[in-house]
Amino acid sequence: MHNMITNKLINFFPRFELEASRNLDFYLALITPFFIAGYFIALGVSSSLDNFFGVMLLVFGLILWLKYRRFDVPVEMKRIYIMGLLVFLMVVLHAVIGRDIEMLFKFQFENLRNLLLLPFLALLLVTVNLNAQGVWRLIVITGLYTLVFSILILIEDPVRGEGLLRKAIVIGNLGMLFALASLVAFFGIKGKFWKALALLVFFSGFLLSVLTQTRAGWVAFLIAVVLLAWTFWQVNRRNFYILMGCFVALSVLLIIFWSHLPIEQRILQAVNDISLYNDGFSNTSVGQRFDMWVIAFHAFLEKPIFGWGVTPFKETFFVFLERDLVNYQIPADGGGFAQPHNDYIFLLYHFGLVGFLMAMSIVIYPGYLFIKHINKYKKTNHEQAYIALTGLVVIEALLDFMLFNLAMMNKIFYVAVIIIFMILYATLKYDNLNSTNNCNT
């Protein structure tokens, strides 16, 4: 019975190989994908259980490090967590120089602080050893939560910002992230059952983004479709036409249910906010963001190299507001913003060009590796081209979320980094095995 259950777990998430001996590494590799799925789902539904799953993943990584006392991972992954370590040291340095150690524990800097944990995460994912099919299955299985969550929202119909939609932006963006990753998985995953699940997650994740009214996700979707269409046109024309078919089918569904969906309302709201902003009124959802961006960028220009460090953005906002750079009117309750609602400007403001380039390299460098992998295998191995394309789409979505909201400053960043690390390892491992086989022949 034990062997039968173990074999089913091994086959559920396909891997390159596992240790033959049933040691600690073997059992950690078996259970870790389920903890990753639990972590993703807990984040996706804004459950406090995400802390439990996150701590368990960290504990697994620490156990492996204590056992081996080294980080035996591909050099490309080492470069990424060295970049993360440099960003962490930069944050610590700002906190020490500014004599504000509490800065390290503010929510805006939580993810930058936790970049110190990247080596343990990398070691854990290397031990799990998922191949392309295993990564896709994990994404699809996890993404099924979007179907359940969408149904619950349709039943309860909560007000945005309350109940199930208390963290609407995070919920919606994560839904779109899984939708886009599952859309690419649909073209590469093997088996009719898994393809059907991938397509289901795509539609349910897209629906979740619509129900939560997260406009950033809709922009990410349009950019991703262009990216996929351009890639499929070069790699496989048949898949290009299937993609266009999915796009048309989705468009038809949107037209049919248009009057019941909040898309037009949110688009008109954005257009109206922009119109009011041009007329000199900033106190709207979009207008406030524009003013925050303008002030943060002007502040960055005053300290472009290392930024303002521990100086709270809220203080700087009110100081620069007196220079009549923007039209924002301070409300009766004092108003103000703890951060500029844009990851790029947030990084430039606090850490200058140096910190900005170091932090962005954590995302851009894997993107460069994925593009190389796609170009290398687009004519010879579609599975490898598509798994790298999945990573590229996740990066595209993350970069889009960073523009409109604080994706790098909240836990969407964790989900993206874990998926990127899993895909990066799967591509690097295949490259290594392929090179070894070519040398042997």
Domain range enclosing 410:
22-261+346-440
Tokens at 178, concatenated: 């899984």
Does 13 reside within a domain?
no
Query: Is 15 strand, coil or helix?
Result: strand
432 and 391 share one domain: yes
The predicted model scores a pTM of 0.91
Q: Enumerate the H helices of 378-411 as residue ranges.
A: 382-404
pLDDT digit string (tens) for 71-126? 778 899 999 988 988 888 888 888 888 887 877 777 777 778 888 888 888 989 98
Q: Is the pLDDT of residue 148 over 90?
A: yes
Residue corresponding to tokens 């004519």: 379
312 and 429 share one domain: no
Instruction: Give strand ranges (E) for 243-289.
Output: none
Residue that terminates a domain, selected from 289, 322, 341: 341
323 and 237 share one domain: no
Q: Give me the helix-helix angle, 24-44 and 145-156, nearest 10°.
A: 20
Residue corresponding to tokens 């359940």: 148
330 and 366 share one domain: no
Q: Is the pLDDT of residue 438 over 70?
A: no
Split into its structural domains, the chain has a count of 2
249 and 148 share one domain: yes
- Is the Cβ–Cβ distance between 393 and 228 less than 8 Å? yes
Exposed/middle/buried for 99, CB within 10 Å: 0-12, 13-18, 19+? exposed
pLDDT digit string (tens) for 335-387? 666 678 889 998 999 899 999 999 999 999 999 999 999 999 998 999 999 99
Average pLDDT, the chain: 87
Q: Distance between CA atoms of 53 and 93, rounded to whole angstroms?
A: 30
pLDDT digit string (tens) for 269-294? 888 888 888 888 877 878 888 888 88
268 and 354 share one domain: no
Instruction: Give strand ranges (E) for 158-309.
Output: none
Q: What is the mean pLDDT of residues 128-156?
A: 94
249 and 271 share one domain: no
Q: What is the DSSP letter of 400?
A: H
Tokens at 306, concatenated: 């290392």
Does 10 reside within a domain?
no
Q: Distance between CA atoms of 245 and 43, rounded to whole angstroms?
A: 32
Residue that terminates a domain, selected from 307, 341, 375: 341
Predicted pLDDT of residue 334: 57
362 and 386 share one domain: yes
In DSSP terms, which residues pair with 130 in a beta bridge?
Answer: 15
- Is the Cβ–Cβ distance between 291 and 328 less than 8 Å? yes
